[in-house]
Structure 1
Amino acid sequence: MTFYTTIRLIYSTLFFLSLPFIVLQKLIRSRKNKGYRSRWSERFGFVKFQLPQSIWIHCVSVGESIALAPLVKKLAKTHPDEHLLITTMTPTGSAQVTKLYQGYDNIHHTYIPYDIPLFLNHFIKKVNPKLCIIMETELWPNLLACCKKRHIPLILTNARLSKKSAKGYQKIIFITRHMLNCISHINAQTQADAQRFIALHADEKKVSVTGNIKYDFEIDKQVKQQAATLKQKLGTRFTWVAASTHPGEDEIILKAHQKIKQQYPNALLILVPRHPERFDTVFQSIQDHHFKVARRSKNNDEHLEDIDVYLGDTMGELMCFYAVSDIAFVGGSFSNTGGHNMLEPAALSKPILSGPSTFNFTQVAEQLQQNQALLIARNYQELAKYIIDLIQQPEKQKQMGENALRCFNTNKGALDKQLTIIEKAL
């Protein structure tokens, strides 16, 4: 038994012993999101279907599921006889996958099993992957080892590695080197990402810079139709959206909205929390700030012209909310979460605002800033000031939106590059 195998054995044992606590944590979370208490067997490798062979694609949650959709749909179209298996970790990601691939008979979905060989081996026997594709940087030691042992090619696609994450992997370089050795190819988003992987002893010949696939999504035709219908109900007034907010950010957003309404009483905020389990909490917070609020989930079409805040408490409608709005704030950026996808509002030609934490989208944020399409606010005062300035300068608002769209279109092309490498592996 090698030293690395011993380390994995210790890791697997500790992971197995921690399962009761993991289950308890999910049961606690299920009080707010019932999805965490369903389909438990899948997390232990028990799949309800058997596949003769499959292309296994893993994406963690909602954002990755949406970003990967063009690649998955193209694979499903060009390989109609292949079974595609999409795995996720969260109920929200699962719901998104189910919605994205309705009508695709050759696309299947299940939760990914816990990273324990007993569960992974049972799972792999059931789905028989001929290729495993992992979105971004979801590295699990046993998953990688199981694929290598069974000679299943594994591609890390749209891979990114921040300076902070690279330092973390550097601290366990012996383990990192073994994990990276299990990967057949890395499709890195940027040259900086590629160099960080290589610095961690990834084989330079197996690393390519292919760009960010998140630039390659197409806007559903229904989005603009839905937005036009919603805009009619909300009224033709200034509207801004705060999307994918995390705990602690809603307070900042609502304070900014209070300042905006001092000058523009008719202004409307669409507030969209990132996680469904927070919908009720955020609704209460909006009321505590003495705003008149309506919930999207209630589908109440009456008196929406009079509300101050519209709570986006549904799944899969974020693009619609972006389309309705004049200005977009992207959350996860005041909470040190690293931000979320700024390309969605960019594709809709919207001026973009963000908090200072954007390390998940460093290159995207830099390009949008260089193209004068993104403003970074440090607090609620700056956020309110930027929005008020843009309301007062409609030409600047329009120019920022055009700059955002141009930046989005200029960076397309990653999809074809990544597909070429995937096709070679197939």
Structure 2
Amino acid sequence: MLLLYTIGIKLYNLIIWIFAFFNQKAAQFILGRKQIFSQIAEKVSPNNQNIWFHFASLGEFEQGRPVLEKIKSLHPQKKIIVTFFSPSGYEIRKNYALADGIFYLPLDSSKNAKRFIEIVNPEMAIFTKYEFWYYYFKALHKNKIPLYLISGIFRKEQIFFKGYGGFYRDILKCVTHFFVQNEESDLLLKSIGLSNTTISGDTRFDRVFENAVAPKQLPEIAAFCAGAPVLVCGSTWPEDEKLLTSLAAKYLDWKLIIAPHEIDDGHIQSIQALFPQAIKFSDLKSQTPGTESQILIINNIGMLSSLYQYGKVAYIGGGFGVGIHNTLEAAAFGLPVIFGPKYSKFQEAKDLIAIDAAKSISSNEELIAAFEHFNRNDESSIAAKKYVNSKQGATEIILSSINL
């Protein structure tokens, strides 16, 4: 199985290398890892008190951020080393001020893991939610470096819990302690003999609460909204955007802010084709007074978490693809949320539906019905905000157990 795993990593790298010729993200994935060890060695000293945080992408970074920032606040002498697997995280957070070094994670191999651990020499490693790299986990274990998984979540369908999943269960044995989101994850780990667990909850609640308390103010957005009710559409994909045309046409007194998941020129142009009267954020300042548009397209990255403060209802994209994106950022501001049918892997989505603070839709008719329900039901807004507030505290539970 280890041979197949190693071949799989090499094959993945080859596929990404081929895609790099015509795909920007794939190109960033390859170019960002060129001479990566020289980059790391230039910025990181193995003699420092280094704490290594690894994140798959941007969502996991925001999830683990409360723990990172609390550690840096309590122990400013410690150096925070951050790695990302995906360009989506690295390219947006490569200048994050509280990290002492931010890098792409070299691909998982025996040689790379050994060299990375030698250069960084972390006193501990903290992984958020998932990503289980065999060689890195083994190298940490061999060097007796504590490895913590925070905001972990497991499902019975995962390979760890199958009869043929022994190789992957072996990877989990390298984790010093699991801080998991729910009881189901705790019981699943115990079912395969891993009792080094704590049900801490999800650190995302701490992060979105902090953001809602002191959001970044966006004067251009406030001016665009001009007191009108606003539907904020976050992380949308083409399937979502096609549905949203029906709302824009039916509710002309509402403003729509569309923040797509991908902002390449082709996608932005496809949104403009659906909404010919829309204006891009980059053109907002040049808009002629008296010609204000109903629809704003956000053609940059990094604003979404602050956009929700201007909304009354949120639509969250991804539910017609691999799964919905972050619903909690909107709920923290008291916005009830609407999303597509692919939400079964997200406990918070199920919870929000149960308290009438969210609805899943599959058609134009269902979208309009959900929108009208939330438009006239203020209790849903109260429930959304109360739910987020009640789930805080994971960061403190984790830090009280980690030996710093």
Instruction: Decide: shared fold, TM above 0.5.
Output: yes
Question: Percent identity between the aligned chains?
Answer: 23
Following TM superposition, by how much is the alpha carbon of 1:260 offset from its aligned partner in structure 2, in angstroms? Answer: 2.5
The answer as to whether partners of 2:361 and 2:367 remain within 8 angstroms in 1 is yes
State the superposition RMSD in angstroms.
2.5
Q: Report how many aligned residue pairs link the two structures.
A: 398
Mapped partners of 1:181, 1:168: distance in 2: 11
User: Which residue of the partner structure matches residue 4 of structure 1?
Assistant: none
Aligned to 2:282: 297
Could you say which residue in structure 2 is the equivalent of 1:87?
Answer: 83
Alignment correspondent of 2:194: 203
Q: Secondary structure at 1:144's aligned position in 2?
A: helix
Kindly indicate whether the alpha-carbon contact (under 8 Å) linking 2:159 and 2:168 is maintained by their aligned counterparts in 1. no
- Which has the higher mean CA deviation after the structures are superposed, 372-381 or 68-77? 372-381
Name the counterpart of 2:6: 12
Secondary structure of the 2:258 match is strand
- Whether the 8 Å CA contact 2:212–2:332 is kept in 1: the answer is no
Shift of the 320–186 alpha-carbon distance from structure 1 to 2, 3 Å rule, reads same
2:215 to 213, 218, 223: 223
1:83 is displaced (CA, Å) by: 0.9
- Of residues 363, 368, 375, the one that matches 1:384 is 368
- 1:274 paired to 2:254: no
**Structure 1 residues 105-120: aligned runs within 5 Å:** 107-120=100-113
Unaligned runs of 5+ in 2: none
Conserved 8 A contact 1:340-1:361: no
Distance 1:168 1:311, change over 3 A: farther
Distance, in Å, in 1 between the alignment partners of 2:288 and 2:336 is 28
Matched, 1:74 2:65: no
Q: Within 1, Cα distance between the matches of 2:250 and 2:5? A: 57
Could you list the per-position Cα deviations for residues 208-251 of structure 1 after superposition, in whole angstroms to 9, with x for gaps in the alignment?
Answer: 1111111112117763522x541223433232122112353332
- Give the match's secondary structure for 1:300: helix
**Between Structure 1 and Structure 2, which shows a larger proportion of helix residues?**
1
Cα pair 1:339 1:359 within 8 Å, conserved = no
The answer as to whether partners of 1:250 and 1:282 remain within 8 angstroms in 2 is: no
Query: Which has the higher mean CA deviation after the structures are superposed, 312-321 or 280-289?
Result: 280-289
How far 1:129 moved relative to its partner?
Answer: 1.0
Q: Please say if residues 87 and 111 of structure 1, whose CA atoms lie closer than 8 Å, have aligned partners that are also in contact.
A: yes
* 2:174 counterpart residue number: 182
* CA–CA separation in structure 2 for the residues paired with 1:45 and 1:354: 44
1:160 pairs with 2:153: yes
Map Cα deviations across residues 162-213 of structure 1 (whole Å, 9 max, x no partner): 343x2575253211221111111111100011112223x2421x01111111
CA distance in structure 1 between the partners assigned to 2:174 and 2:258 by the alignment: 42
Higher deviation after alignment, 342-351 or 261-270? 261-270
Secondary structure class of the residue paired with 1:113: coil
Q: 2:237 matched to which residue of 1?
A: 246
Name the SS of the counterpart of 1:281 in structure 2. helix
**Cα distance, 1:49 vs structure 2:** 2.1
Counterpart residue number, 2:131: 138
The aligned residue for residue 122 of structure 2 is 129
Instruction: Check conservation: 2:54, 2:128, Cα contact below 8 A.
Output: yes
The superposition leaves residues 286-315 of structure 1 with CA deviations (integer Å, 9 ceiling, x where unpaired) of 232253121123453414863242111211
Tell me which moved more, 282-291 or 148-157.
Answer: 282-291
CA distance in 2, matches of 1:240, 1:17: 43
Measured after TM superposition, the shift of residue 274 of structure 1 is 1.6
Distance in 2 of aligned mates of 1:320 and 1:301: 22
| Of 139-148 and 240-249, the range deviating more from structure 2 | 240-249
In the TM superposition, what is the alpha-carbon distance from 1:34 to its structure 2 partner? Answer: 6.5
Letter aligned with residue 23 of structure 2: R
- C-alpha change, 1:242 and 1:351, in structure 2 (3 Å) is same
Alignment correspondent of 1:412? 392
Question: Which amino acid in structure 2 is aligned with residue 383 of structure 1?
Answer: L
- Which amino acid counterpart does residue 123 of structure 1 have in structure 2? F
Q: What's the CA shift for 1:40?
A: 2.5
> Who is 1:50 aligned against?
44
* Secondary structure of 2:349 counterpart: helix
1:318 lines up with 2:331 in the alignment? no
TM-score, normalization: structure 2?
A: 0.90
Deviations 1:124-146 (A, max 9, x none): 21111111111002111111111
State the partner residue of 2:226: 235
- What residue is the counterpart of 1:3 in the other structure? none
